[in-house]
Amino acid sequence: RTKGDRDKAARLLEAEGHGAISAALSGASEGAGGVTIPRPQAAELIEMLRARVVVRASGARTLPMPAGEMRHAKQVGSAVAAYAAENAAIAPSQPSFDKIDQSFKKLVGMVPIGNSLLRHSGVAMAQLVRDDLLKVMALREDLAFLRGDGSADTPKGLRHWMLPANWSAAPVAATPAAAEAAIRRAVSLVEDADVGMVSPGWIMRASTKNWLASLKDPNGNPLFPSIGASAQLMGFPIRTSSQIPDNLGAGGDETEIYFGDFDEAMIGDSMALVVGSSTDASFVDGNGATVSAFQNDLTLMRAISEHDFAPAHDEAFAGFNASGWTL
């Protein structure tokens, strides 16, 4: 009557009062025999959600640095021109220069994988581990380019390259007037420094962007309508990252907002991301013990990237701490 459909047959028998027969035939319950039905494993592995990589996406320039170090000559002062009286001596002047040195900071990651898992799970597992390793390395690089302090062989990020006058550490209050004043001040600091504004933009948390979008003027109109219309603030695009914390400050409710011309951000890069694997090597685990991959039937997957970060002009970036800027 059900043309071989076991589930339909079980429901039909149950409906007609033949519960005992239905239970014997049903695969819907593990206790009634469903446990014997093998569950197919989907070929697709579901990846985890993770933060977005924003510094490179905002327009930072990547410069090849194959020798491991690079020195940029930087003009920091100009010659002087002035009006003078007839036959008066001309005051001499000269431009002044400084340097920006970049040297490789080595970002590494390694994952030991059981060979039994690889054999039984197929190629999808190896690809997921490889891709996950590369993504977490990209996120760690992004975090260093934003908030790194340059210690312990790490790059120094935007937060610590900014001029002291361009960063307001005193938290901006969560009011429309204070928010608008802080945002306009950040833009003014960069524009008044004669920055070219080739790739200007904002970086902040998504919750901060949404809080700004919710602000209203005294008439009930959106204070920043362009956020909802085009994800722009003061005419400049917003990129969001959950890697920017929202639990800073004494009250644990502060976050950071960055603005600048990302064409001025320079990433010195070896232009090579090295990914390797080995079944014969050994590694030191979290307890300090040396583990042989060969003896323990493991495959070690390793990735190495080398880069550094610096702005061409420190004046090209500004930002501030904000308190309570979340929904």
Give the CATH number of the domain where residue 208 resides: 3.30.2400.10
122 pLDDT higher than 80? no
Note whether residue 132 is domain-resident: yes
- Tell me: do 12 and 65 sit in the same domain: no
Domain range for 208: 55-72+103-327
pLDDT at 121: 76
Note whether residue 134 is domain-resident: yes
pLDDT digits over 159-209, tens only? 999 999 999 989 999 999 999 999 999 999 999 999 999 999 999 999 999
- Tell me: do 17 and 165 sit in the same domain: no
pLDDT digits over 84-114, tens only? 888 888 888 787 777 777 788 999 999 999 9
- Tell me: do 23 and 107 sit in the same domain: no
42 pLDDT higher than 60? no
Note whether residue 11 is domain-resident: yes
Note whether residue 212 is domain-resident: yes
Q: Taking the model in full, what pTM does it have?
A: 0.79
40 pLDDT higher than 90? no
3-state secondary structure the chain: CCCCCHHHHHHHHHHCCCHHHHHHHCCCCCCCCHHHCCCCCCCCCCCCCCCCCCCCCCCCEEEECCCCEEEEEEEEECCCCCCCCCCCCCCCCCCEEEEEEEECEEEEEEEEEEHHHHHHHCHHHHHHHHHHHHHHHHHHHHHHHHHCECCCCCCECHHHHCCHHHEEEEEECCCHHHHHHHHHHHHHHHHCCCCCCCCEEEEECHHHHHHHHHCECCCCCECCHHHHHHCEECCEEEEECCCCCCCECCCCCEEEEEEEEHHHEEEEECCCCEEEEECCCEEECCCCCEEECCCCCEEEEEEEEEEEEEECCHHHEEEEEEECCCC
- Tell me: do 31 and 59 sit in the same domain: no
pLDDT digits over 212-235, tens only? 999 999 999 999 999 999 999 999
- Residues 133-145: what's their mean pLDDT? 92
Q: 11 vs 76, which has greater pLDDT?
A: 11
Domain count, the chain: 2
Note whether residue 21 is domain-resident: yes
pLDDT digits over 237-288, tens only? 999 999 999 999 999 999 999 999 999 999 988 877 888 889 999 999 989 9
